[in-house]
Structure 1
Amino acid sequence: MSSAAPPPGPSASAPPGRPDPLAWLVALEGVPSAYAATRDGIDVMLRDRGLRRTSPETTAESLLRGAHASAVLEGSSSTLAEVREGAGDEVARDAVRVSTELLSLVPRVRQSPLQAFARIHALAATGSVEPDRLGRPRDPEAAGRLRDIATVATSQGSEGAAPALLVAAMVHAELISAAPFVSHNGIVARAVERLIIVARGVDEKSLCVPEAGHLALRPAYESNLRGYAEGGAAGVHAWVLYGAEAFAAGAEASPLRRAAAE
């Protein structure tokens, strides 16, 4: 993508003057109903199964499943059983390392998302890139994109503003399309997406597995990311609609579902 072109997401299309840079997305066809239905489904699952059955072990299992799914999307060939035993490949170990510290970054993503992004990259890329590149953007343009993404991550609106899940989906896509770090951008993007879902109160105990939702829908995930990166409004719209579907699939992948079936 040309450095002269605007980024494909909110800064390219949002009308000027709105306090919430994503509020315009709520007016797109099918978006409000898709996200309302997905949020309702998550709420029902957490209320009916989560409140009585959650434990730190359930959260840890969700994070482990998410790390495995994110690693596979990043090119890992490790199985979930191997990852659970600590025998996964390097990419899987990178993703697990992120997952072990991720929830401690909830306050940081609320108040200083740039610091959260940097820490996640440092965790993911330790041992893979030079120490002075850990958590640092590739170049000044990437630094600018990160600042824009941080603004989206902390956007707060009143009535009519973008719902939390939509914010998470857009930050995810922006981090992938910007590729601001020298490596591990996919792992960073998916970790930040989960972190925003927790920080915004959708899934405070991190029991859904959004990474597994993307893995279950992998062809659609990858094609919609390509469409988003092309910068057109149709690609953004398609990604947003896909995001609602992926979050619903992530709720289905929760370890709470397995507990309910046992």
Structure 2
Amino acid sequence: LYALARGVYEYDVVLLTHPDGNVLKLQVGYLDGTDPLRQVFQTVVDSLGFDTIGATGEVEAIDYRHLQAHLMAGEWQAADLETRSILQQLISTYDYFYPSIEADGIEALRCEDLQILDALWSRYSNGRYGFTAQHQVWRSLTVIDPTIRAERFGQHVQWQRAEPLPNTPFGSSLWRSDTELTYTTDAPIGHLPWSGVSSLTLERMLEEGGLGCGSCTIDAFYISEDRLAHYLNAFMARVDECLCDQARSQEQS
């Protein structure tokens, strides 16, 4: 970040260099060098994080600094949002119009990334949150039927309501939305990170419809009701594989 003067304006300029040699220039001009916008610009620049993108367009390396900062500060809601954002980046086929990760995309999640996410959540929550905590709850449920197992898990970590809410746009689902979660350390073990789809995404599907969505109303109902049962079984199977891989690596070392 550097400053320069030109005529009546004063500028802050940032040059961002990509490994391929391309340079991105960000520039903001001010009539007054004490303009509050200057601090805002500097704050934005300081918060920038960059993932490494491969030749095929897939994310090769994730920048976890923002997630770590949120977790260190106990900003659980921000950390939950950042975690979902990271998972979406790691799924190359997810829908950019209506972001959600479905069960058939779980295999694309690399164990290395799941292990890093889990380690960060486990460390800064003292083992209360993270995939290890969720996996322990999941394994304690000796239920064969996958839908019932997902529902029991939802009850255990309080992702489900005791009773469905009446008169909601998404029917009578027992599954809570992100606005109903507990973003403190008073929540049950395994409560975070959440595996649902943002309520803003669901509302946009119902309001806008059409764009990238064959039948948005039906899709919104599915996401708010049945999706988690399918997703949780696939996701926990992947977590099980990745945690086992990690345990084997630690034993060999």
Structure with higher strand content:
2
Q: How would you bin the TM-score normalised by the shorter chain?
A: under 0.3
Structure with a larger share of its residues in helix: 1
TM-score, with length taken from structure 1: 0.25
User: Could you state the TM-score of these two structures normalised by the residue count of structure 2?
Assistant: 0.25
